[in-house]
Amino acid sequence: MQESISGAATGGPLAGVAPQNVNSPSAIAISPIAPMTDRAIAAFIDMIVMCAAFPVAGMWAAVQWGGATTSGFELNGLPALFVISSVGFVGFLYLWIGEGIFGATLGKAAMSLRVRSATGGKPGLQKSLLRNLLRIVDGIGVYIVGIVFALTSPTRQRLGDRVAGTVVVRVESAGKIRPVAAIASAVILVASIAVAIGLHATIPAASIAAATTPQVTSAELGTGNTEDYQIIGAATTFAATQPQIVCVFQIQGVAAGTPIRAVWMVDDVGSAAPANSKLIEKSVTAPGGGTVPGNFVLTAPAGGLPAGKYHLDIYIGDALAKTLPFTITPSS
């Protein structure tokens, strides 16, 4: 079913902010420092909660742009990028607002953990923004960077905590909130699945059947194609001097590994070649998943193709899926 940052920073949320030292007795005395194991469990719970946005966003995209299957959805290209971006954005808002306003996400609340500033209060949105933006760095190597920073800090601060001046602590008085947070996490997950199922139910069965039936959804001839498989010089008539003829196509519902064959056929070129003879055959393998683009190229021999009638047959496996006729005109 495809970014870089350069230059000196002169503004933005990190500009002019110096790391704040929370490695002090007063900071440690706020509450017991959260154990790394508890933080890992909290992070796992939060990951589940954030991933709850995925089935909803994915099914919504499938309803809008196609890609629904009998058991869910398969997305590629821009729809897939939309879903990944949306889920990432929602996840960031969840972490930023939850820790900034409430001092905890559902995962942290379920483990009796809180994010606190050096004075022991809730960090607020600015500190929370800094803390969570730096997850980009802390998260390198599956959070290896963050773990190293935390293990080398008496107060178990990862880089984001050191810059924002925050610390994760354990709050023993939060026992009553733990089951509520755990239940809320489960409810969010179940609700997201229910919403996705509801969206799936709104898609006509015929549309799902069409999306899961192996087929060539589009095919066009021209003189070339762009990197994203848009046809260049679309035509069905070509001069004999044309060095190549390109077919751009899209397949849908094709299992991974299925051969897609292009058979270029001669219909009638007079005495230059027998009628209904094969000019050349080429094959590619379907990657599988949703709607997938591709191309076939017919390179003309030295002297060009003989004038006359031709056609291209596209096969999915052994089944003929599309026929495209074209004409070669004599050189002037």
Interhelix angle 36-51/140-151, rounded to 10 degrees, is 150
Residue 40, pLDDT above cutoff 70: yes
CB–CB of 103/123 below 8 Å?
A: yes
**How high is the mean pLDDT of the chain?**
87
Same domain, residue pair 164 and 40: yes
pLDDT at 254: 84
Instruction: Give me the amino acid identity at 137.
Output: V
Same domain, residue pair 196 and 275: no
In this structure, is residue 113 part of a structural domain?
yes
In this structure, is residue 12 part of a structural domain?
no
CATH number of residue 292's parent domain: 2.60.40.10
The phi, psi pair for 105, rounded to 5°, reads: -90, 175
Same domain, residue pair 164 and 217: no
Residue 267, pLDDT above cutoff 60: yes
180 falls in which pLDDT band (50, 70, 90)? very high
Residue ending a domain, choose from 164, 189, 208: 208
Which segment of 64-68, 210-214, 258-262 scores lowest on mean pLDDT? Answer: 210-214
The predicted model gives 316-320 an average pLDDT of 93
* Whole-angstrom distance, CA of residue 114 vs CA of residue 105: 8
In this structure, is residue 165 part of a structural domain?
yes
Same domain, residue pair 161 and 309: no
- Higher-confidence position of 57 and 21: 57
For residues 293-307, one letter each, b for 16 or more C-beta atoms within 10 angstroms of the residue's C-beta and e for the rest, the string is bbbbebebeeebbbe
CB–CB of 313/323 below 8 Å?
A: yes
* Whole-angstrom distance, CA of residue 307 vs CA of residue 328: 5
Domain that holds residue 258: 213-329
Residue ending a domain, choose from 208, 228, 251: 208
Residue ending a domain, choose from 183, 208, 233: 208
Same domain, residue pair 80 and 136: yes
Same domain, residue pair 35 and 103: yes
The predicted model gives 136-147 an average pLDDT of 94
Give the total number of structural domains in the chain: 2
The predicted model gives 258-287 an average pLDDT of 93
Residue 162 has which token pair? 């050191």
Same domain, residue pair 244 and 201: no
pLDDT at 288: 67
Residue 330, pLDDT above cutoff 50: yes
Please report how many Cα atoms fall inside a 13 Å half-sphere around the Cα of residue 331, on the Cβ side: 8
Same domain, residue pair 277 and 201: no
In this structure, is residue 178 part of a structural domain?
yes
**Distances from the Cα of 35 to the Cα of 161, 246, 274, angstroms:** 15, 61, 80
- pLDDT tens-place string over residues 223-251: 999 999 999 999 999 999 999 999 999 98
Instruction: Give me the amino acid identity at 253.
Output: G
pLDDT at 70: 80
In this structure, is residue 242 part of a structural domain?
yes
Same domain, residue pair 60 and 106: yes
In this structure, is residue 6 part of a structural domain?
no
Residue 44, pLDDT above cutoff 60: yes
The predicted model gives 268-276 an average pLDDT of 93
pLDDT at 221: 97
The neighbour count for residue 139, using CB atoms within 10 Å, is 14
Same domain, residue pair 160 and 267: no
Residue 123, pLDDT above cutoff 90: yes
Pairing mode of beta strands 224-225, 72-73: unpaired
In this structure, is residue 18 part of a structural domain?
no
- pLDDT tens-place string over residues 4-31: 323 333 344 434 444 455 554 344 445 7
In this structure, is residue 153 part of a structural domain?
yes
253 falls in which pLDDT band (50, 70, 90)? confident
Q: Which of 316, 332, 193 is nearest to 254 (CA)?
A: 316
Same domain, residue pair 253 and 147: no
Same domain, residue pair 290 and 168: no
